Amino acid sequence: MDQPPPDRSKRPWKFSTFVYSSSILFLLLSILLLGFTSTDLYKTQSLRFTFTANRIYSYLQFHAGKPNSISETLNSASSSSHCVLWMAPFLSSGGYSSEAWSYILSLHHHLRNHPRFRITIEHHGDLESPEFWDGLATETKELAIEMHSTQCRPNETIVVCHSEPGAWYPPLFETLPCPPTGYEDFLSVIGRTMFETDRVNPEHVNRCNRMDHVWVPTEFHVSSFVQSGIDSSKVVKIVQPVDVAFFDPEKYEPLDLIAIADLVLGSGVKNSFGFVFLSVFKWEQRKGWDVLLKAYLREFSGKDNVALFLLTNSYHSESDFGNKIVDFVEELDEEEPEDDYPLVYVIDKHIAQVDLPRLYKAADAFVLPTRGEGWGRPIVEAMAMSLPVIATNWSGPTEYLTEENGYPLGVEEMSEVKEGPFEGHLWAEPSVDKLRVLMRRVVSEPEEARVKGKRGRDDMVKSFAPEVVAKVVADQIERIFDEKVRR
């Protein structure tokens, strides 16, 4: 969601790819959770090959119309034979991964009380990252292993392909395909995806139309997908949950920002600020960091006692964001204010997921003048933390950001995407002048900002809490099972 498709050479999918990818998952799981030593590596490998071979064998046997002994034994112990195979980049960082985890975890809790179907998961769509897996909570890892080992009969399984459509069967790059053996073998196949521009390219349109259903996160996507040529009867809006129990401002003390940030502009290092703006984004043009810096530097100066903290990470391999910002400011060629630039800090260290709420807690407002978002996860996290947010009134954020719960930032015009996989598409050009007005207003009208921030959390709890969204997803899946069984 938050990134264009991985830039990888096109390689035709081979059977060995399936074995390989699926094996890596099990290897990672075994080593990292069960703590196998390196001398156990050989054992682990034979174990994973046995394991993977079994799963593939079960799919292949099914193809051949033979009964499947593995699945049969496991199924007989379960209350329901109905099964959902959820395939996503579970072992990578990134937007699709965090979104998939949030669905899986909330569905898991929901199904405890309403065991209407079982869930099994499979990694697909991106490269595995041991660092990411390492950072997950132990109980999450245990749950992943448990879910991964659940066996399902393909003819009783709904598959969710939660990834960019290039990873769907047949994949355009090397990954375990989704659905694993093509579209015909499963009860139903759902594609979950999203884009950040005004349209879906023709290749992706075809891939979406091969699915039985296409789940997208917002009304914005429903209309851009349908306008691009995707069968409207297939497109369903399923919003994204935000963990409002984890992102709860009552539970945290602020993080010490100065200790983790580097000063890039301005001087007179302080240990307290009049007002702290926070922005969180990957370093790419889409995120509108140029718009943010222009607006901030034109509107404020040293005497305003404000600070802007940018938590960013690299899009490819570039870093050194401090110098990039200084270069950008030099190119702007604007006069330095007499009383110095307003403070700009960069945080480019990895902030562990568990520390994110404390990061938001340390800010007075969140700002992201993005050019386009699939959903905008940091925006909803900030809202759940009761921060007033300023974000572009286009694409993902239009699903949840209103004048009542935040500051929707007006768009100047649509502009052409200049590079990358979406070149030639359009996205939004947020207004620098309007951003200046909103940033000034959130500083000078603290009571209004507080009320909007609180309303933001209330709206997140009401409409996007995990249990709320899990019910929507479960009902949708149940409806598909009902349709299929009635036939």
Ligand X SMILES: *[C@@H]1O[C@H](CO)[C@@H](O)[C@H](O)[C@H]1NC(C)=O
Name the residues that contact ligand X, by CB under 6 A: 67, 153, 155-156, 393, 408, 410
Q: Which residues contact 25 (CB under 8 A, 6 or more apart)?
A: 91, 122, 123, 128, 148
Tokens (6 digits) for 90: 């579970």
Question: Is 472 exposed, middle or buried (CB count within 10 Å of its CB: 0-12, 13-18, 19+)?
Answer: middle
Residue closest to 164 by CA, chosen among 191, 182, 133, 128:
191
Amino acid at 35: G
Rounded Cα–Cα distance for residues 50 and 30 (Å): 13
Q: Which residue, 249 or 410, has its beta carbon nearer to ligand X?
A: 410
Q: What's phi and psi for 47, nearest 5 deg?
A: -60, -45
C-beta of 46 vs 80, nearer to ligand X:
80
Nearer to ligand X by Cβ, of 20 and 62: the residue is 62
- Whichever of 312 and 393 has its CB closer to ligand X, that residue is 393
Rounded CA gap, 197 and 426, in Å?
Answer: 6
How many angstroms from the chain centroid is the CA of residue 7? 18
Distance CA 480, CA 483 (A): 5
Query: Taking the complex as a whole, how short is the minimal distance between the CB of residue 155 and ligand X, in angstroms?
Result: 4
Cα 172 from Cα 170, distance rounded (Å): 7
Nearer to ligand X, 221 or 361 (CB): 221
Instruction: Decide if 304 contacts 352 (C-beta within 8 A).
Output: no
What's the closest the beta carbon of residue 150 comes to ligand X, in angstroms?
16
d(CA 460, CA 276): 23
Q: Which is nearer to ligand X, 316 or 486 (CB)?
A: 486
